[in-house]
Amino acid sequence: AAVDRAEVPAFMRQVEALAAGFDATLAPLHGPRAILAGEETEMTPLFRVMQRENSVAHALLTKVRGDLSQLRGACRGELKQTNHIRELLSDFSAGVVPRSWLATYAVPRSYSLSRWMADFADRVRVGQRLAERIAVGSVVDVVRARSVWLGGLLYPEAFVTATRQAVAKRLGCSLEELVIQLSVIDGAVAEEAFAVCGLKVEGAVWIDGALELNDGRHEPLPDCCIEWVRSEDVERDDCGLVTVPVYLNTDRRDLLFEARLPFVDATAYSSSAVVQRAVAIVAA
């Protein structure tokens, strides 16, 4: 039986209010839209990556909603506290993300509980819209028609690998023959390119078609495209370009790939300055 509200400890009332707010954040998110494979798509790596994104995101959504429901029930005295609920109470009281939620995909270690919830809701929302488009169209056409939030994917490294496999199949070449190129979109996107958005550069800013060192702040990059080209077709004269690492997030623990990008007055000095100033691109 539910207990009198006045008998509930103050911290549990605060936890219940926090969980109720999270419930409201997740309420508009509907269940998963099935992505059905056709004969031409069911075996493609890119389709399997997007199908996995869809299923894993909604499995986690179901788990989070279930945990919130149990937590609120325990705070109202309607459910007996289990070890799992006690752990949730402890995490919510401290404002940290439950470990069972963090096990699915990587986020910056600095994320608070509220920041994680807002980010997770955004990921699910964007993923649902992407799944809805894939359900009625070719997966390759869909991901090329509109920029994909690379850092919003649960497994962006798998997406990058799948784009390489898609291009290798189209060109009839091995994966080893292809090298990655990242460029800011300026006009039409090449047929072998995949548009991505949400990238940020740390330690530099994009000005007039090139990077320029700044005071270390994070700056958003315009929409970019990932393109896979044959290594033999890459221009050997890369004067004016510097190598910039592209990391999963601001923790810089997971390297996705490295990109050669134009730099203002690129010289041997500026290349070393990029390293010394730890210039990098982050996806989330």
Average confidence (pLDDT) over 154-170: 94
pLDDT tens digits, one per residue of 87-104: 999 999 999 999 999 999
CA distance 152 to 150: 5
E strand residue ranges, the chain: 148-149, 178-184, 193-197, 200-207, 210-220, 224-230, 241-247, 255-262, 280-282
Q: Is the pLDDT of residue 140 over 80?
A: no
- Residue 25's pLDDT is what? 94
- Joined together, the tokens standing for residue 17 give 């209010």
What is the pLDDT, as a whole number, of residue 1? Answer: 46
The DSSP bridge partners found for residue 219 are: 201
Alpha-carbon span 43 to 169, nearest angstrom: 12
Using one digit for the tens of pLDDT, what is the confidence trace for 187-237?
Answer: 667 777 899 999 999 999 999 889 999 888 899 999 999 999 998 887 665
Residue owning tokens 């990921």: 123
Q: What is the pTM of this model?
A: 0.87
Provide the pLDDT for residue 200.
Answer: 97
Among 196, 183, 206, which residue's Cα sits nearest to residue 279?
Answer: 206
Does the pLDDT value for residue 81 go beyond 60?
Answer: yes
CA–CA distance, 263 with 243 (Å, rounded to integer): 10
> What is the C-alpha separation between 26 and 76, in angstroms, rounded?
20
Rg (CA), the chain: 22
Mean pLDDT for the chain overall: 87
The whole-number average pLDDT for the span 92-119 is 96
